[in-house]
Amino acid sequence: MIEAEVTVPVGPERAFEVLADGWLYASWVVGASHIREVDAGWPEVGTRIHYSLGLWPVTVQDVTEVRAVDAPRMLELEARLWPVGSARIRLDLDRTAPGMTRIRMTEHAMSGPGQLVPNAVQGLLLKPRNQESLARLSDLIIGRARGTK
């Protein structure tokens, strides 16, 4: 399991607002290049974000589906990327102090050839990407909070 985390200067409710906006997914998830559609009701269990990964003109179209949600504390997703398989991604939001939230992202391969890659190698490949994704998420959360004061 690969872990990354970041702390943002807002409460979990404000931080979760960005996760609840599926149209922002490509703004913070490294590799996602275009959101084609977000199911009505996102982020309810079973709803999906339909996206493209990669750089044009070489892109792959796939989906990420909500597996579990406990707003504003947790969002669990299954991200698919054919032909690699799928991964479970969990975002936990914990209030660490008034107006401060730690966001922890964990990821592990669920299906396909990706789950055959040893955990140590997965960590070397995925941790920097996930840490960058959280840095981008943090910027969006902070920017949105500043814009609503």
Per residue in 74-86, pLDDT tens? Answer: 999 999 987 778 9
What is the fold, at CATH topology level, of the domain defined by 2-147?
A: Alpha-D-Glucose-1,6-Bisphosphate; Chain A, domain 4 (3.30.530)
* Structural domain boundaries in the chain: 2-147
* pLDDT interval class at 11 (50, 70, 90): very high
Q: CA torsion sign, 22 to 28 to 31 to 33? A: positive
The pLDDT, as a whole number, for residue 54 is 84
Q: Which of 127, 130, 136, 148 has the alpha carbon at shortest distance from 10?
A: 148
Residue 135 has pLDDT above 70, yes or no: yes
The pLDDT, as a whole number, for residue 63 is 96
113 prior amide bond cis, ω within 30: no
Q: What is the mean pLDDT of the chain?
A: 92
Instruction: Tell the burial category of 27 from Cβ atoms under 10 Å away from its Cβ (0-12, 13-18, 19+).
Output: middle
Quick: pLDDT tens for 116-131: 777 777 777 789 999 9
